[in-house]
Each structure stands twice: as structure tokens, then as C-alpha cells.
Chain A
Amino acid sequence: MNFRILYRPDPGHLFWRADLTGADLWTVAARCATLGDPTMLDDLRAGIRIPSLIGLMLEDGYRPGQDRALIRQDAKAYRARLIASGRKSFDTTLKKGGHLTNYGGSHKRIRQTVIEDTYAETGVPWDPGLDLCLRVRNTYLSRYWGLPRWWADTAFKVTRTGRLTMATGQVREFLSRRPKNGKLDDETRREALAAEPQSVTTWICNQAWWKLWSDLENWTEGAVNKGEPIVQVLLSVHDELAGQCRVDHRPFLASKLTSAFDQPITIGRITLTIPFEGLTGPSWGECKEPL
């Protein structure tokens, strides 16, 4: 049930959302590319929906070629088929499978997470089975072969120095846990792998928030209520900013959000700008109209 529909803008205003969903994946892709595998980064740049591509490879024996525009089209069509046939839980398995595989999760963990997430979404848990989860994981790793390199690189850094320095400048020291026999325990390894993607996504959102706040134009350009910004940030949710602005300031909103999220960041040896999706609507839960 969508409870976000209860969060509404003030009269004469619209609600907006700027979403960096999938942002974590860009960090993972940049790290893999730095270590020699640009596949994930190229797929993301081409706009390919990765879980759908994995599903296509798994179910239809699809062999992606060099033409990424075609891959993108095929993945989109596959997803449409999946949703039309009511197999949303299978799509959840593909999404979670990919997400957890990025951070070294096992097929057992994927299964556990899918059960928890389908329960959280629908109130009824769905069990994908261990076999399917293993196949999703293996298919994912067959395409993105740079992932184990990234895992080993991260584990090496934490084992040798006890710390990780992120692209955002954050230095995280993994204090209480020490590697046994030169090997990191699973929990520390997962936390270490998830650290930088989360740090980067949050950093970009916070930077965008600050840019909107400190932009003088956002306070003076045709402002109706003195002392309040035109583009108002009312919520920060990990990979998303949300807020409101007056309906007649929609073009201004589009321009300011684009500028706020235009933040090149260097991760490893790759400099990229993580794209965002801007949507508006009559409530937080009904933001469906693209900017």
C-alpha cells in the first residue's frame, strides 16, 4: 500500500521527487571499470536495465552482442512481458539477486532477502527457491566478471590497513573486527563492499540539497513568500530528495534540479555524473510526471 499519497504539497504547489535509484550501481560499475571490466559501466551508460538483461539471459538464453541500443530495447521488452504476465516477484528476485551479488551475497542470502522483500511489499512472502537464486547469481557474474576483482581489492585494503577511503573523502576504519588467518569475516566484507556505494549516493544527494539551499536565485527569483526558497526540499530519503514548489515555477524547478544534480565525481579512475530522475505530482506517492 502506498502511504506516500498522504504527504501533500501546500495549496498552489506541486510535489517533486529527484530520484537517484540505481545510483549505488554506478559506484560499483566505476570500481569494476577501474579494475579492468567496463561492462557494467557501459551497460548503465547505454540505459540498459540490468535486472531485465539478466532475466533475459536466464530465461531466454539471450546472448548480448555489441549493440547496446538493441540490448536496451530487448531488455525493455522482456520487462514489459514479465510485468504483463504478473510475475512481479520474479522481477524482485532479479533485482535483489543483482543487488546482493554486487556485494558478494550468496544465493541463500538472495533467497532470504527476496522472501523478506516480497513480504514487505505484498504482505505475503514468496520463495524463489535456492536453485533460481543460484542461477541468477551465476548469470550476473558471467556478465560482470570484474566483480570478484573488486571484492578482492576491497578485502585486501581492509585486511592490510583496516580502513577504506571512499570517493567522497570519507575514511572508514573497521574497528572491532579483525581478519582471521588473513581473511575477512563475511559481515565485515559485506559492510566494506556496501560502504562506498552508499557513501557516494548520499553525498550526491546532500550536495544537491546544499546547492538548492545556497543558490541565491532560489530565494529571490520571483519569490512570492519572502524568506522561503522557491524549490523547497522537504524530505531526504537516502537516494532521493523530495519537496514542493509552486505550480507556475515548474520550469524553474527543472532547471534547478538539473543543475543541483550535475555533480561529476571521480571513483577510482572513472569520472562520471550519476543521472537522476525528476518527477512531479499531486503528492509524494503520486509523482509520475517527468520534469
Chain B
Amino acid sequence: MGFIVSISFFLNLCSTDLSTMDCLFKSDFANNKKLNGWTDVHQKNPPNSEWYQIVKDSNGELYLKTREVLFGISHSLKSEIIVDDSLSEVQLLVIFRKPDLPLNGWPVTVALSSSETTAKDAGGPFWKGKDSGLLIIGSLYDKPEYNSINWQKEGVRVRMHPYRLPFNFLEVGMWVEWRLVYRHQEKSLLFFHKQNDTLPFLVQHNVDLSGTVLSSVWIGAWGTEFKEISVYVIKNK
């Protein structure tokens, strides 16, 4: 339900012609229980099944359960996103839950990256000092420094923390929907952190990914449970 609502919402949000919108990735865990196509820090595809498993919740819904490890996994997009004048928007959507674990202070992280696979140097979306892309880091803590949206180009990152209360991007045990929208012409990054939000919680300006190529979506483990991850691109006519 969350997914349908959110898609319909951000279709409304976009004034661009719908016919130009492409889905470049949809996790579809129900039909990919072995996580084929996902690569872990050891470049293993599918990733280590002890760390990443598809499980069923009490309502019968399937989701990805991750272990409390520092690393993450990535999946290449159906086609690369070339950030040039033909691009209007890139949208990253993720529905997830942070279970009530002793380690629940660990953040939830999601990214779009120019790296084709999980960076081998630290298991993150970007090789240290390299790569371009978008990144959300959110936590339960109501402190700005533990929550941020980020963009980076060729290793140089600019982050934005929430500047208004409440600062936390999520609540424990609840399914949360995050949407990150990069508007290339406006050079802005819009972050919606609650389902049905009509106004972005954060807007980062001067975001310019021109000349970069986004190749993969990455999610951090750290005990987070993921229901859906999708990437859409809207091209100019």
C-alpha cells in the first residue's frame, strides 16, 4: 500500500510528462528471494545469505532482513543515469523499518552511486575519495548531526542536516518511506521522510551532478529491514 500511495503521490508531484518516466530499478523481493543481482562488500553476488535474507512478516509480507553489520549491498540499475541536460529528475524511494534492537542507534543509509558495485574499501556506496551520487543517512536520534542528506561529486561531499525539530528521520519499529528527488535543472535535492508528505522536509540547493553517471543503488545493512527500493528517472521531452 505504502508503495502505491507514494508512487501516485510523486507522480502528482512531478509536472513532467509521465510518458518519459522510467523505472530503472525495483527491488521486487517477492520474486527475487535469493537476492540475485545484489553484491556485497566481498563482491559476492548474491550476497552472503547469513547477512541478507528475505523473510515474511506476520502479515505475510516479504521483506529483506539484514544483519547488524557495518556494510551494505548494491544493485546495478537497468541502465545508467547520465546526468546531462536531457535529465529532469532522479527519484530514489525506499520503504524500510528499523527494528527495536539494542543497536538501533545505527543509522539507516541508502544511496545512488556512480560505483557499479559496493565499494570494496569500506563496504559503502562510494569508494573513499571517489565516486558521485546521493546519500541519505537517518537515525532515530533527535539530533541533527545523526541525520543528513548528502550529494557528492567525484569524492567531494556536501551534507545537509535537518535544521528544524524534530531532527530524526525515522521512528523505531515503524515502516518508513523516504523519497529523495534530485531535480537537475533546479540543482536541488528534495527529501521527503514521511509517507504522503506534500512538502519536502529538507531541500538542499546548489546540488549539481552534471557530468556524472549513476550506476547502482546501495543500501546499508545495520539491522535495517527493507520492504521496497525503487529508482525512477524522468527525462526531458
Are the chains A and B members of one assembly?
no
B residues adjacent to A (C-beta < 8 A)? none
